């Protein structure tokens, strides 16, 4: 049954590069989140079987995820991100309908590391490095570094361009992130960093 499920998801979504149905807020929109659990599943299937096809499927799924991941920085001028040297490189947008950068894709660093144990791939290695560096810059290093919250706090919404701005400062000016503590976002970052250490 597991093989059948993997084969169906690969054929219907991953191989066609049209994963959707993950987050409820992007109903029927092609998204990044729809491939993250597949990556974990197909990596575990390779661990169990040793079959090369699962590494092939993993590579295709990584390529899909990389289509949402910035391999360059798109500098934003709007604070707080614009004033602290924040970089979009290594972050992934959520979907084609909700294109802000979020931390959930940092959870697949373990899958990237696992893949690189079996196949030499300079591009995957660079995307892994970008993801790790991106992951380390999204929390307050001191109180209110992101214009809200305490040291260690982190939001879930990072706007890589001015067209995505919705949060406002008290004076009505726009902000490039949400002023909210998002524990799941912090958890995604910590999971991604820890999984690299465990997988190596």
Question: What pLDDT, in 10s, does the model give residues 97-106?
Answer: 778 899 999 9
Question: What pLDDT, in 10s, does the model give residues 59-105?
Answer: 999 999 999 999 999 989 999 999 999 999 999 998 877 788 999 99
> Which residue is listed with tokens 């791939």?
121
Contacting residues for 85 by C-beta, under 8 A, at least 6 apart: none
Q: 200 pLDDT exceeds 70?
A: no
User: What average pLDDT does range 182-194 have in this prediction?
Assistant: 94
| Residue-by-residue DSSP string for 108-161 | GHHHHHHHHHHS--HHHHHHHHHHHHHHTTSB-SSTTTTSSS-TT-B-S-B-SS
φ, ψ for residue 160 (rounded to 5)?
Answer: -85, -5
Average predicted confidence (pLDDT) for the chain: 91
Q: State the Cα torsion 67-43-126-90 to the nearest 10°.
A: 50
- Residue 93 pairs in a beta bridge with 101
Question: What pLDDT, in 10s, does the model give residues 102-135?
Answer: 999 999 999 999 999 999 999 999 999 999 999 9
Confidence bin at 23 (pLDDT 50/70/90): low
């Amino acid at each position: 049954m597991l093989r059948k499920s993997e084969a169906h998801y690969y054929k219907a979504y991953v191989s066609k590069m049209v994963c959707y149905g993950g987050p409820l807020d992007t109903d029927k929109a092609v998204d990044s989140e729809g491939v993250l659990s597949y990556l974990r599943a197909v990596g575990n299937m390779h661990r169990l079987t040793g079959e090369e096809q699962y590494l092939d499927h993993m590579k295709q799924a990584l390529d899909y995820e990389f289509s949402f991941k910035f391999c360059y920085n798109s500098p934003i001028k709007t604070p707080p991100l614009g004033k602290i040297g924040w970089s979009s490189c290594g972050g992934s947008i959520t979907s084609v309908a909700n294109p802000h950068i979020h931390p959930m894709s940092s959870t697949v660093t373990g899958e990237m590391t696992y893949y690189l144990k079996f196949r030499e791939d300079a591009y995957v290695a660079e995307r892994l490095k970008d993801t790790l560096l991106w992951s380390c810059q999204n929390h307050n290093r001191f109180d209110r570094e992101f214009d809200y919250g305490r040291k260690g706090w982190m939001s879930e919404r990072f706007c890589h361009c001015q067209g995505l701005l919705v949060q406002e400062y008290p004076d009505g000016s726009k902000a490039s992130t949400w002023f909210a503590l998002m524990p799941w976002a912090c958890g995604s970052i910590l999971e991604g960093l820890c999984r690299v250490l465990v997988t190596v």
